[in-house]
Amino acid sequence: LHAAAVGARGVQALVYNAGIFGTPDDASVEGTPTSVYRKVMEVNFFGCVETVRAFLPLVRSVKGKIIINASICGQIGLMYMSNYTASKFAVRGWADCLRREVAPLGTSVTVLECAYVNTPIYEKARTGIHGAKAPPPEIYRDQTKFLANFIREGEEIGIAPAAVAAAVVETAQAASPPARV
């Protein structure tokens, strides 16, 4: 999308909503390959940075709103989710910086920090980004039940994506959107 295609209308609201949960065979910090951290950061953090930067002039031109769907994992580190959590902390910190830079120019930035949202991310977390999962090393076996429970709970009690969409619409329509939802 280029400025010529949008014209003087600019972009009233930009919503960033992309992310992966890159669990490897062994999701511990010790067992997660650097390649998994890089892949998750590339999608979850750098994808956000590049998308927002590409559209920022169009949003800023009309004093629009930027809404970034991050995660509650940007507030608390959870074991066996270090790659995902690190990426969401990065998004949250970056969005805080962006908000302070563009607020004086009339553009708002809101970070959505939902907990469980019932999406295919949980099914994908079962196999990780490298295919079928192998059991973790014996030293972590009992502790990795946390991750299995997290995935199961996400599927069982996760809010519907429509609820997140409603929060996005409400934020986009707000005269003064909050920093976090």
Residues paired with residue 117 on neighbouring β-strands, in sequence order: 159
The catalytic site residues sit at: 84
Q: Are 12 and 114 in contact (CB under 8 A)?
A: no
Distance between CA 23 and CA 35 in Å, rounded?
11
Question: Hey, how many other C-beta atoms are within 10 angstroms of the C-beta on 122?
Answer: 19
